[in-house]
Structures are given as structure tokens and as C-alpha cells.
A and B are shown apart, each in its own frame.
Chain A
Amino acid sequence: MTNYSRRRVLKGTLAGAAVTVGLPLLDCQLNGNGDALASGDALPVAFGNWYQGLGLNPGMWIPKKVGAGFENNIQLKVLDPYRSKMNIFSGMRYFLDGRPHETHTSTVEIAMTGAVFASIDKIGPSLDHKIADVIGNRTRFRSINTSLDGSRRSLSRRSGTASSPAEPVPANLYKQLFGPEFQDPNAAEFSPDPSVMARRSVLSHVTDQRKSLMAELDTSDRTRLDEYFTAIREIEQQLDLQMQKPVAMPACSKPSEMTDTQVGSLVSDVQKNAKLLARLTAHALACGQTRIFNVTTGSQGWRFEGNPRGWHVTTHEESLDPVLGYQKTVFKFLTAANETFADFIGALDGFKEGSGTLLDRTLVLWQTDHGDARTHTIEDIPIMTLGGAGGRIKTGMHVRSAGEPCCRVGLTVQQALGVPISAWGDRSNQTSRTVTEIMGNV
């Protein structure tokens, strides 16, 4: 074991100030695969996780045709401009394996982590974290988490005890991404900021105390402290990155500054903020600031002005329209939600990069909790992916399944993005069957 610390290495070079900084190679720079950024050709893949509770209208989203060349059903027509870049999965389901059906909770856990867990200390990482472990360690932000309804909670979690906060306010996200600490990756000159070096060095004094702290703790507290130190290590890695000349990102541009907006669960506010957050997310991806984003829609609380019930309550309390055969207000909510999603996808697809678009090198996974929210069904769950992950995913397919676990899609997405797993999910949700129809060049 070599007896050096990163801090000491840094310290030695600080005297020389703004020249090349020789950092020891970090583990994270070695893992991951297929990243051709350094050579300047292929742009890196990105992953987006879109979670929208309350399902879709049964009978109104499944395309008639299975396989390639499907037509969108009425509720998903709004996604027509991206039809060749999307996949739809129907017929899959969640399994509870005899556990109580905590509506809107159990199935969220399966969608995000592959399993329903009994207690907070047994919850596994959400799939975005598993993906971030592979592709998220070389950017200034490991991921950006936003919520559309004003909430500060996201569904992204490293474990049950470490769940990521979400940023609902576009103006705040702007400051974090493009505030004074933003370095233009295309700037000709680069000199590492001495204060970043100093911060890095100071943090290592915290990590140097790890051993003596750990010695005092029992197993469960050690696990929690481990999570703390993992998080600190990630900050250190981000600081290390800030001391290196950023890789040029040709399509990068800084968005115009954002002013404060009204944030909340009114659909009009949700849609306005979603547009701003989409723009920021697109610029952040294009500028190499992150490769992972999570959007929590908080759809259960969405409201239309003047309507006493939120979306969730409406799904349970609105009568089926005797003529139309569906819940009219719920349909309105779904239309709004699908428009919001389509707008977000539009922001990625509208961002040109070379001969393609940002969406082409991104993979967005759309998931939900129930097939029919009105009665909390867990069968025939709608799932979508958008974007081709730089050729790793084939698109334009409707994949029909006969009651297989939804985790098949989660497995496929993770494998496409380089997560080294052969199976995903717990008990009946577990599957090792990749959706081979959509696997591209991984």
C-alpha cells in the first residue's frame, strides 16, 4: 500500500498553481464502458428516469399493432413526433407475493428498486443509482433530481436511509448548474481554481477521520456512516473533475437566467415549471454537467383550478362517464401529464448535437404504479422508453408481454447502459429475461 494521500499530492502541486494538475487516477474514471469522449467522437449516453403515478387510461394507450411500425393509441398521440424514437411495453405486471398491497407505494418500490421491502434498512438502490454508478461519476453532478409539484422529495435513493432530495424551483436549479461555479467546457483557457483545490484538500481532513469514527459504531450505524463517506467521496470526485480541463461539448450553451416562478401542484404551474426544468436539464446534459436525471412528477397531488379534488382523489371518486365509459376529469389529468412528458422529451429532441439530437444519446424510462388507478390494478402496467441511448437501444417497437414482470424493462435499460447485472427484481418480480427485441449495440 503506497503511503500517500490525495491531499498530499494536491498540496505538492498547489505551489505551482495554475498548471496541469497531476491527480492520481480515480477508480471511477476506470469503470463504465464505451465512453469515447476522450477521443472526441461519440458523445456519452445519458439516462433519464420519469416517474408518473396513477397509470394511464385502460384501453386508451396500448397500440393495436405489436412490434415495429405501431400507431399510438389515442392517449399517447401527443408523443407521435417521437414515435420512431420510442418503445411501448404492455402486458407486464407487478407481483406482491402475498405482501399487503400498500396502494401507490408497493408498486413504486418495485418500479424503482425491483422489490417491495419490509423496512427502511432493507431498501435497495433505485435503478438510477445503479446506472449512475456506471455512467454518473465523470460529471460535475452525479445526477439532477427535479420534482414538478413543488415537493422536495424524489424517488431516487441509494438505500432506504439515503434518499435524494428533489429541486422543484427552476431558478434554484439554474443557480446550481450555471451559477458562478459553472465552467464552460468549450472555453479555450483553463486554469484550476485554487479555492476548489483548497476545498478538496480540506474535505480530505474529514475523510481522514473515518477510521476512528467507524471504530465507535455498531453495524447498522457503520452502514449509515459508509453512505455518508460515499457521498463525501463523490463530492471529492466532483472537485477533482473541476480541477481538470473539462472535455469539450460542442453543443453546450448556457441557458438564459431564470427568474422565480410560482411552484406548486396546480397543473398550470406544473406545466410551466416542467418546461423550464426541461430546458435546464437539456443544457446540463449538453454541457456535460450530468448524465443522469430524475423527474418526480408528484402527479397524485396535481389539481385543476376550481376543482376540489386532486388527481389521486379524483381517480377514486369520479364516476365513470356512462356514455364515454371512462372518468372524464381523470382523462383531463392524463392528457395534461402526457403533454408535460411530451414537452420534456421535445426539449431533449429539439437540442441538436452534430447530426442527431440530445434525445438520441439519452434513454428516458417512463414508469408508473398502477394499470388502472381507480381500482389500483397491478396488471397491464404501461411502460415506455424514449431515446436510443446512442444506439444501445432499438426504438419504434411495441413489445407485448403476457403477464411477465415489469422488471424486464428495468433490467434491459440497466444492461443497455452498462450495469453489470444478469437479473433484476425480487421474488416473482425477478427476471433475467432481457427484452432482446430492443437491445442495440451494447
Chain B
Amino acid sequence: MSRKALMVGVAGLVVAAGAGAFFAFTPHKAAPVGEAGKAVTRRLTNDQYANVIAEVFGPSIELSGRLEPDTRANNLIEVGAGQVSVSSDGMAQYEMMARGIASQVVSERTRDEMLPCKPKAPKEADAACADQFLTRVGSLLFRRPLTAEEQKHYVTAAGESATTLKDFYAGVSLSLGAMLASPQFLFRHERVEADPDVKGEFRIDAYSKASRLSFFLWNSIPDDTLLAAAKSGELHTARGLNRQVARMLASPRLENGVRAFFADMFGFDALPTLAKDTTLYPSFDNVTVRDAEEQTLRTIADVLVSKQGDYRDIFTTRQTFLTQTLASIYNVELVNDAPNGGADMWLPYEFSENSGRGGVLTHLSFLALHSHPGRSSPTLRGKALREVMLCQKVPAPPAAVDFALVEDTSNPLFKTARQRLEAHRTNPVCAGCHKITDPVGLALETFDGDGSHRDTENGAQIDTNGELDGIKFSDAAGVGRAVHDNPAALSCVADRLVAYGLGRMPVESEAAWREGLKQSFAAAQYKFVELMSKIATSPEFYRAAPPAPTSTAALSAPNQSGQTEVVR
């Protein structure tokens, strides 16, 4: 069936699953002008690695060791993942982790549950049983069926090692370990093919599409239904794509995807190593940090996924979830009124109107992350707000500046950060940037470096008047309202989400598409899930630059001395 015929068939179709009219398929008439962006090969992020292992083998598998740290590029780890490779030491860690996982999978305790078959003799190779297991697991790990070559390699490897070690399971374990250390697993390579529906255009192939979708919406691998839709060609039809996206958005796994995006956008990977001075902030410890991240992600998931709400509301909502640990820093009373106390340590909580708290900018995760170990920082907070929430770039301070006089907190003339920064701004070199960061950050000064509330600093009353792009406010909650009403925040999240999905910065030819997405976002009252849906159902999302021509020179392998030898 031609694409045109299909489009006629589905024009105006509204897909179910509560997604609303936003899903209406708009026929895509002409190919976009300009060169398509590259389909990016991404290395699995640490979180994705853990998600995939839990999904394929169950949550009881322990990941011991450390993976190569994720890299952030253009403000996103997901974009950094499209640029990194792996270092020697990092690979040694991946390989060690892979063996650890594989040996747990085939351990005596779990093997009967994990393997679909038993070997004819446990001390010998059994190609049929190994094949059955490795082919199935391989298709999950590689997010597509194994090629005949791959299948042969892994089954042979299992057989050879089983014979050497006189143990079928040891053989399977080693082969599975190799699979988990292979580039096909660690890198999400996207295959590009000619688009039969648009002459001269290219797109990523069906399995790559399934993978792109599942990592975008779920932050994990495709499920069987999605893989089947890739296999049957359904994903390449507009109707099929819409159906799958609607199904995925209705899945409880959507929450994982939304959380992963915001953890990336908000830079939460820096939280685990966030250290506060325990003498000054005695209640701030590792548990606080873990809970602070969870609080914000739970709040976001509640507003955007459970309530299918407006993105802007995350900056103003006073509703959140707290644990007793967090309640003690927020200095609020958290009553567990569930029968018998309830098992869940997370309780819904609503900050009072006069608390000054409202929205994620007044959460510990933002306030403490963008502070110094021992005190708050209006400049760091203002900078983060502009860079993270509004996608603006604040230049780094000039190299040769002496901060000593104006940053001396023991100076009786400069008791508050406002006074100190005021003095700082008399230097014209500094004034330019501090003018754009400080007025925002100063309104958050009633929150100390650990995020707890305070009214005074060094005995002086804190003045929380501030301003963001012409909107004036007099307290912390006002900052959230100003971001809520700032068009840059909406444009920012849409652009970040596109870059997150593509794994790269958008190219010129994608400008019109992005503009259209922003208009649709507005038309959908800024419902975040509908923005995800719109991106995931756009043909532009899957358009790709033509595959690189293969040259024989590129296929020869460099050896240690930098010369080349022909690959066997």
C-alpha cells in the first residue's frame, strides 16, 4: 500500500487511549527542505544499562562495579551519549560487569527460570539449547533479531567454552557475557535506509525506529509488541506508528521515560556526588540527596503523566511528595495517616501558601544543587535557572577577577548576599552577567545552601525582591510564576526534548518542524505528554541523512603501532 493511500485513510484519525485531538494525523505533503540530520549512534547511558538489565533478566540481578561515566554535551547526557566511545579502562569495567551479570543469570539458583531449556548433558555443549536462549536474549539486548552471523558466533562461542570448561552453563555464561560487552548492545546504532515513500530521502529502519521510540518514551528497550510492529512493517505506516505511540504513552512505563528526560535536563546526575558541609548542614546527607531527586521527579511525573498536565505547572505547584527525611529539612509536619502508618515512605504533601515554596525551583534538588557546599548562591541559582529552564547561555566569569573583598561574609558592611553582590556589580566587567543571574537568584535567598528556609543572613533581614525579563516579584514563589509565564521556558523544553529524542542538536532543516511542534504544544495547552506524542509521531523525527558510503580503507584495522593490517 502506498504511503499516500494510507495517509488518505488515516487523515483526521483520532487514536484512542485518552490522547485527545492532538493525535490527529496531519498529512505530511512535501519533504522538508535542506539536509537531513545524522542518525546518531548512542552509547547506553548508565541508567539505560541498568534499566535494560532489569527488564531482560529481572530486578534481582546485581550490578556491581562502575560503568564509564556519562558525558554531557549541549546540556544533555543523551546528546553526549551520541559522541562518546569507550576507554580502555571503561571497557574493562563493562566487560567485568557483563561477566558478573551473565554468571548471575546462569547461576544454579536462577538458571531454570532464565533458560527456556535444559541441556542434554550439563557437562557438555548443547548447541540447540544455547541457540534457543541466546537468540531470544540477543534479540532483546540488541533490540532486533540477531543476524545469522551473530547467531552463529554466539552459539559457537557458547559451545567452544562449554567443551573447554566441561560445563554447558559456563559456556552460555561466557557467550552471554560477550554479548553484553559487544558494541551491538552497548551502542544504540541506528540503521538508515532509503525512504520508499519520499524519493531521495532516507529514514531510520523499522527496528531502529522501535528503539528510538522506546528509549525516548520509556528509557528502555522495545517490548515484544513494538518489535513485532517493526518486523511487520506496521511502524513504517502512519497508522501503525500512531497506534504504537498511543499504546506506549498509555503504558505505565511512560513515567520512566518522563523521569529520565527531566533527570537529564535538570542535571540530576550531579546529585549523587553533591556534598554539603555536615557541620553547617547536619541533616543533609546521602539520603537527603536521594530523596530530593525523587521528590522532584515524583512531582513532575504526577503533574505531567498522572494528571496529563501543563508543563508550566511544575514551576508553581505547591503539591508534592515528601519523606520524613525531607520534611525535617523543609521543616514541615508530615503526618502519615494511612492505616497502620502505611508502607510507603512517600506521602503527598501540599506546601502552605505562605511557605514561599511552590514549584520545582523551590525544591531541595534545585536549591541545594546550585549552591556552594556551605552556603547559598544567588548567582549559581540564577545561572542554572537561565541555562536549564530557559536554555539561555550565561558566560563564564572573566579569568582575572579578585572576588575577595565583595565575597567576605564576615564583613559587617555586607551581611547579605544581596549587599555583597551589589558591591560586586560596581565592577563593569562583572555587572553584565550578574545583572542577568542575580535578580532571579536573590529572590531564592530565603533558602539556605541546603534548601532549608531562613529569614535572615548574618542577622540581617533577607530582601527577596527580584526580576526576570521584566517581570518583577517579591518572593521565591514569584520566581516560579515568572518562569511559568516566560515563553522561553516553553521553547526551551520543546527544544531540549527534540535534542534528547534525536541524540543530537537539531539541524537547520528541522527548524520548521520544531516551530510547528511549539505551535502544537501551545495549542495543546502545554500538555507535556502531547508534546512527546507529537514528536514521536512526526515523520521528521525519523528522517536521516543518507548512510555513509563504505570504503575499503575504512575496513582495515589499525594495529598497536598505528599501521594497518587487513582484517581477517
User: What is the bound-complex CA distance between A196 and B381, given in angstroms?
Assistant: 52
Asked if B345 is an interface residue, CB under 8 A from chain A, the answer is: no
Supplied contacts A133-B560, A313-B372, 14 more A-B pairs, CB within 8 Å: A11-B160, A14-B164, A27-B561, A100-B396, A142-B89, A145-B89, A157-B87, A208-B568, A218-B548, A228-B187, A230-B558, A307-B374, A317-B403, A377-B400
Q: Which residues of B contact A39 (CB under 8 A)?
A: none
Residue in chain B with minimal CB distance to A210: B567
Whether B90 sits at the interface, judged by CB under 8 Å, is yes
A415 at the interface (CB under 8 A from B): no
A264 to B88: give the CA distance in the assembly, Å. 25
- CB atoms of A167 and B66 under 8 A apart: yes
In the complex, which of the residues B150, B407, B449 contacts A209, with contact meaning CB atoms closer than 8 Å? B150
- A161/B275 in contact, CB under 8 A: no
> How many Å from the CB of B392 to the closest CB on chain A?
18
Closest to A169 in B: B66
Instruction: Mark each residue of chain A from 100 to 113: 1 if its CB lies under 8 Å from any CB of chain B, else 0.
Output: 11110000000000
Interface residues, chain A, CB within 8 Å of chain B?
Answer: 1, 3, 5, 11, 14, 26-28, 31, 100-103, 120-121, 133, 137, 141-143, 145, 150-153, 156-165, 167, 172, 194-195, 197-199, 201-203, 205-206, 208-219, 221-235, 238, 264-266, 301, 303, 305-310, 313, 316-320, 327, 374-377
Residues from chain B with a CB closer than 8 A to the CB of A208 are 153, 568
CA separation between A12 and B274, bound complex, in Å? 53
Size range of the chain B interface in the assembly: 35 or more
Q: List chain A residues, Cβ under 8 A from B157.
A: 201-202, 205
B417 to chain A, nearest CB (A): 12
What distance in Å separates the Cβ of B36 from its nearest Cβ neighbour in chain A?
A: 13
- Does any Cβ of A come within 8 Å of B73's Cβ? yes
Option from B189, B373, B399, B558 in Cβ contact (under 8 Å) with A376: B399
Residues B178 and A202 in contact, CB atoms below 8 Å apart: yes
Q: Is the CB of B164 within 8 A of A194?
A: yes
Docked complex Cα distance between A146 and B375 (Å): 29
**Cβ distance A406 to chain B, nearest Cβ, rounded Å:** 17
- Chain A residues positioned under 8 Å from B66 (CB to CB): 152, 165, 167, 172
With known contacts A218-B38, A308-B449, A375–B399 Cβ distance under 8 A: yes
Give the distance to chain A from B124, nearest Cβ to Cβ, in Å: 15
Interchain CB contact under 8 A, B408 and A206 = no
CA distance A320 to B250 in the complex (A): 61
Expressed in whole angstroms, the Cα–Cα distance for A293 and B516 within the complex equals 53
Query: Which chain A residue has the least Cβ–Cβ distance from B558?
Result: A226
Report the bound CA distance from A327 to B164 in whole Å: 65
**Does the CB pair A318–B165 fall under 8 Å?**
no
CB contacts (< 8 Å) of B164 on chain A: these are 14, 194, 197-198, 201
Kindly identify which residue among A100, A141, A162, A209 contacts B87, using a CB–CB cutoff of 8 Å. A162
- Output the least CB separation between A164 and chain B (Å): 4
Please state if B548 and A265 are interface contacts (CB–CB under 8 Å): no
B83: chain A residues within 8 A (beta carbon) = 120-121, 160-161
| Residue in chain A with minimal CB distance to B158 | A202
Question: Complex: how many Å from CA A102 to CA B554?
Answer: 36
Q: B68 contacts the other chain (Cβ, under 8 Å)?
A: yes
- Residues in chain A near residue B150, CB distance under 8 A: 209
- Which chain B residues (143-157) contact chain A, with CB distance < 8 Å? 147, 149-150, 153-154, 156-157
Give the contact stretch, choosing among B91-99, B259-267, B289-297.
Answer: B91-99
B554, A222: Cβ atoms closer than 8 Å: yes
> How distant is the Cα of A103 from the Cα of B395 in the complex, in angstroms?
12
> Are B558 and A231 in contact, CB atoms less than 8 angstroms apart?
no
In chain A, what residue has the closest Cβ to B68? A165
* C-alpha spacing A198/B408, complex, angstroms: 63
Please, how many angstroms separate the alpha-carbon atoms of A311 and B49 in the complex?
Answer: 35
| Cβ B183 vs Cβ A137 within 8 A | no
Q: Give which listed residue, B160, B373, B554, contacts A308 with CB less than 8 A.
A: B373
A308 adjacent to B375 (CB under 8 Å): yes
Closest beta carbon of chain A to B243's beta carbon, Å: 29
* B149 engages A212 (CB within 8 Å): yes
Known contacts A226-B558, A303-B277: A159-B38 contact under CB 8 Å: no
CB pair A206 B561 closer than 8 Å: no
Closest to A136 in B: B88
Chain A residue with Cβ nearest B73: A120
> Of B373, B398, B554, which contacts A214 at CB under 8 A?
B554
The answer, among A159, A214, A231, A310, for a CB contact under 8 Å with B555, is A214
Provide the residues of chain B in CB contact with A101, threshold 8 Å.
398-399
User: Scoring B residues 107 to 128 as 1 if CB is less than 8 Å from chain A, else 0, what string do you get?
Assistant: 0000000000000000000000
B154 interface neighbour in A161, A205, A229, A233, Cβ under 8 Å: A205
Query: Contact check: which of A165, A198, A223 meets B174 at CB < 8 Å?
Result: A198
Interface residues of B (CB under 8 A from A): 38, 41, 66-69, 71, 73, 83-93, 95, 99, 147, 149-150, 153-154, 156-157, 160-161, 164-165, 170-171, 174-175, 177-178, 181-184, 186-187, 189, 191, 273, 275, 277-280, 372-375, 396-405, 407-409, 449, 547-548, 550, 554-555, 557-561, 566-568
Q: A102-B396, A317-B404 are in contact. Are A1 and B566 (CB under 8 A)?
A: yes
Cβ B68 vs Cβ A213 within 8 A: no
Shortest CB-to-CB span from A214 to chain B, Å, is: 5
Contact B88 A164 (CB under 8 A): yes
Residue contact A165 to B550, C-beta cutoff 8 Å = no
A-side contacts of B400, CB under 8 Å: 375-377
Partner of A211, one of B175, B405, B409, B555: B555
In whole angstroms, what is the CA distance A164 to B398 when docked? 30
What CA separation (Å) do A157 and B191 show in the bound complex? 29
In the assembled complex, how far is the CB of residue A14 from the closest CB belonging to chain B, in whole angstroms?
Answer: 5
Within 8 Å by CB of B277, from A198, A222, A305, lies A305
Would you mind naming 18 contact pairs between A and B with Cβ atoms under 8 Å apart? A5-B568, A142-B88, A163-B68, A163-B71, A164-B88, A165-B87, A167-B66, A205-B154, A206-B183, A209-B150, A209-B182, A235-B91, A303-B373, A306-B277, A308-B372, A309-B373, A374-B402, A375-B400
Among A222, A223, A228, which residue has its beta carbon within 8 angstroms of that of B86?
A: A228
Contacting residue for A231 out of B73, B86, B373, CB 8 A: B86
Bound-state CA distance A388–B401 (Å) is: 39
A217 contact from B87, B160, B399, B548, Cβ within 8 A: B548
The reply to whether A219 and B548 form a contact with Cβ atoms under 8 Å apart is yes
Q: Given A102-B396, A303-B277, A310-B372, do A228 and B401 touch, yes or no (CB 8 Å)? A: no
Contact B174 A199 (CB under 8 A): yes
Residues of B with C-beta under 8 A to A14:
164
- Decide: B277 and A228 in contact? CB cutoff 8 A: no
Query: In the complex the two chains form, is B149's CB within 8 Å of A306's CB?
Result: no
Contact of A264 among B84, B275, B407 (CB under 8 A): B275
What is the distance, in angstroms, from B568's C-beta to the closest C-beta of chain A? 6
The interface residues of chain A lying within 8 Å CB-to-CB of B68 are 163-165
Tell me which residues across on chain A come within 8 A of B404, comparing CB atoms.
316-320, 327, 374
Residues of the B chain whose Cβ atoms lie less than 8 Å from the Cβ of A158:
87-88
Instruction: Give complex CA distance A375, B429 in Å.
Output: 14
Ordered nearest first, which 9 A-B pairs have the shortest CB separation?
A308-B374, A218-B548, A231-B91, A317-B407, A224-B85, A227-B85, A306-B279, A198-B161, A162-B87
Q: Check B558 against A195 for contact (C-beta < 8 Å).
A: no
A31 touches B560 (CB 8 A): yes
Cα distance A223–B150 when bound, in Å? 22
CB atoms of A228 and B183 under 8 A apart = yes
Complex Cα distance, B298 from A55, in Å, reads: 43
Contacts of B374 in A (CB 8 A): 303, 307-309
Which chain B residues lie closer than 8 Å to A224 at the CB level?
41, 84-85, 187
